[in-house]
Copies of this chain bind each other. A is one copy, B any other.
Amino acid sequence: MAKSIFYHAGCPVCVSAENDILNLVNPNNVEVVHLGENKARIKEAESAGVNSVPALLTPNGNVLHINFGASLDALKN
């Protein structure tokens, strides 16, 4: 099974959502990416349709924006 990717930026909303997602979904099937620490992957997230974090990119390419922590633009600075 292809992995989902959980994009976050360490914000409280992100951490809370991450805990919830990793409780619900098999953690082995989720790659967790911290865009604040790994700015090189912001472009990839953006191309996938991610507008804000936290967000979960599913194996079939859909983006689930989960609550709202920060816009992707805010992470670029």
Q: Point out residues on A near B: beta carbons under 8 Å.
A: 4, 16-17, 20-21, 23-25, 29, 56, 58-60, 62-68
* Number of this chain's copies in the complex: 2
Partner of A66, one of B25, B29, B60, B65: B65
**B67–A64 touching, CB < 8 Å:** yes
Q: Is the interface of A mostly helix, strand, loop or mixed?
A: mixed
CA of A62 to CA of B59 in the docked complex: distance in angstroms? 24
Q: Decide yes or no: A17 and B66 within 8 Å by CB, A4-B24, A58-B23 being known contacts.
A: no
How many Å from the CB of A24 to the closest CB on chain B?
5
Q: In the complex, which residue of chain B has the Cβ closest to the Cβ of A64? A: B66
Q: In the complex, which residue of chain B has the Cβ closest to the Cβ of A26? A: B24
